[in-house]
Chain A
Amino acid sequence: NAGVTQTPKFRVLKTGQSMTLLCAQDMNHEYMYWYRQDPGMGLRLIHYSVGEGTTAKGEVPDGYNVSRLKKQNFLLGLESAAPSQTSVYFCASSSTLYSSGQYNEQFFGPGTRLTVL
């Protein structure tokens, strides 16, 4: 049981380049999330998904797109990277089952450190 995994761990991009961050979870969770972490700002929600094929905007969605084609995967895309997107990106997932004992607890991946030059 690997939990939540993220690929890649590190990436350096030039302004205008595109890339996709992959998040995978093996806990059969319905909900998945993408956050960015910046110094002094905690974690801010970029996009989230409440189920396969469904996504929604979070607090800071501009410049990002997401897709949830399979329940276990949640992809975050940057179409044209900007220096303001330099950050650490975290993926998380959570269960909607109250009986699971983990209701609403979010499980986090190890993060992807992205630098945009």
Chain B
Amino acid sequence: AQSVTQLDSQVPVFEEAPVELRCNYSSSVSVYLFWYVQYPNQGLQLLLKYLSGSTLVKGINGFEAEFNKSQTSFHLRKPSVHISDTAEYFCAVTVMFSGGYNKLIFGAGTRLAVHP
């Protein structure tokens, strides 16, 4: 069965420091990978996605992620975080089924807390 593991439930970091949020997935079929961000009391917003092509994907707000097929990972990085990046981040994988149907499987989330 497909699954997504976010290795850290909470990541505290100081402002302007770099951050990496780790995500591993398990799947024996082709996948599409996503990172979503959820600010307090809001819905989910897409940060970036990997469908195909370059394994380094750039998203909004200065975030980027690298797809590593051999390690089945899709870690999210930002070189310098801001207070406004404090939020919960979800890694997700779309798994395709026969007939073109797909499902999105989410990790449990990583809460990023940026401190001044």
The minimal Cβ–Cβ distance linking B25 to chain A, given in whole angstroms, is 13
- How many chain B residues touch A (CB < 8 A): the figure is 23
- Contact call B100/A96, Cβ cutoff below 8 A: yes
Q: Which residues of A contact B49 (CB under 8 A)?
A: 104-105
B27 within 8 A of A: no
Residues in chain B near residue A44, CB distance under 8 A: 106
**Interface SS majority for chain B:** strand
Q: How far is the CA of A40 from the CA of B9 in the complex (A)?
A: 8
In the complex, what distance in Å separates the CA atom of A110 from the CA atom of B100? Answer: 27
B100: chain A residues within 8 A (beta carbon): 96
Q: Which residue of A is nearest B34, CB measured?
A: A105
Chain A contact residues, majority secondary structure: strand
State whether A45 and B42 are in contact (beta carbons under 8 Å apart), knowing that A40-B9, A105-B34 are contacts in the complex: no
- Check: A106 CB closer than 8 A to any chain B CB: yes
B101 touches A111 (CB 8 A): no
B83 at interface by CB-CB < 8 Å: no
For residue A74, CB closer than 8 A to chain B, the reply is no
Q: How large is the interface on A (under 10, 10 to 19, 20 to 34, 35 or more residues)?
A: 20 to 34
Give min CB distance, A35 to chain B, whole Å. Answer: 8
**Interface set of A (CB-CB < 8 Å, partner B):** 4, 31, 33, 40-45, 48, 50, 58, 90, 92, 96, 103-111
Chosen A-B contacts, 28 in total, with CB atoms closer than 8 Å, are A4-B43, A31-B102, A40-B108, A40-B109, A42-B4, A42-B106, A42-B107, A42-B108, A42-B109, A43-B90, A43-B106, A45-B103, A48-B103, A58-B103, A90-B44, A92-B44, A92-B104, A103-B32, A104-B32, A105-B46, A105-B49, A106-B34, A106-B46, A108-B36, A108-B45, A110-B42, A111-B42, A111-B43
Closest 3 CB pairs of A and B: A42-B106, A108-B43, A108-B44
Query: Can you add 16 more A-B contacts, CB < 8 Å, to A90-B44, A104-B32?
Result: A31-B102, A42-B90, A42-B106, A42-B108, A43-B90, A45-B103, A48-B103, A58-B103, A92-B104, A96-B100, A104-B49, A104-B102, A104-B104, A105-B34, A110-B42, A111-B43
